Structure 1
Amino acid sequence: MIPKFEVSIIIQKPIAEVFDSVYNPKKLAGYFTTAGASAPLNEGATVQWEFADFPGPFPVHCKQMTQNKLIVLEWEASEGGYNTQTEFVFEAINSNETKVKVYETGWKETEKGILSSYQNCMGWSQMVCAMKAYLEYGINLRKGAYKPLSEQTTA
């Protein structure tokens, strides 16, 4: 089994607004990167994403960006030594609805690689739901959902 997945959602906003919520670091931090994103996702750029509940910033490489259509990202797999790739595909359903699809591929067929793919599938599912809540209702679903790293305990 080659680990890969797709998640999707329909957001009741125009495509330019939905695209910008992933591309624009200030908007992305409003619902997803709880400790910030260093720069826009321009093609060829390497930006730092950071989460309050995850140890430190990590580099995200924007491999491809087509305005209002596609963002392709790459970063190191959690088990290290190779990269995975994530594609955001934006499709206008009509002038006020946009379908967002997120695909991720590239894990090794190891126990850790497969587990990481499941964890990322959960994360991207949460991300698109948080994006919908943020864009349609101005709500940040991640606020209070995860303990900051400094408050986490190991059991």
Structure 2
Amino acid sequence: MHWRVILKDTVRVPPHRFGEPLEKVVMEILQQTYEGVMDKDVGMVVAITDVKEIGVGRIIMGDGASYHDVVFEALTYRPELNEVVLGEVVEVVSFGSFVRVGPLDALLHISQVMDDYVSYDEKKGALVGKETGKTLKEGDKVRARVVSVSLKRDYRGKIG
């Protein structure tokens, strides 16, 4: 599920950027620092949407940069257990398929694809039901339930 969250951090503004508008510089630094980052508490940061507050800068001896306490808004994606999600199959392998769910890829294990014996057809690059003949291939849209989540910092995480 996508969330809008308010976060706080201290941003280092390098001296060569002092002449530029502070709001623009802080926004760019936050985007470079946070977008695409996984955090176990807030999930994956999809976008920094707004800088709410920028504190007065501090200069630390030995470093010419200014440090500002900032409050900002971010759009994040955090999958919840038992959440039903819509996704697109991005890869099919012998043990299941990978489904793009928001900004993340989730594993759809071969045993959970359908109520049928499923085998991997290497020629078609698809999972095929033995009795029904139904197939699951790259590009198919699917609805799935999140049954396991493992989110770790500096790692893309795992969704099952």
Between Structure 1 and Structure 2, the one with more helix by share is 1
> Do both proteins adopt the same fold according to a TM-score greater than 0.5, normalized to the shorter chain?
no
Question: 1 or 2 for the larger relative contact order (CA 8 Å, sep ≥6)?
Answer: 1
Give the TM-score band, short-chain normalised. Answer: under 0.3
Q: Compute the TM-score of the two structures, normalised by the length of structure 2.
A: 0.25
Q: Compute the TM-score of the two structures, normalised by the length of structure 1.
A: 0.25
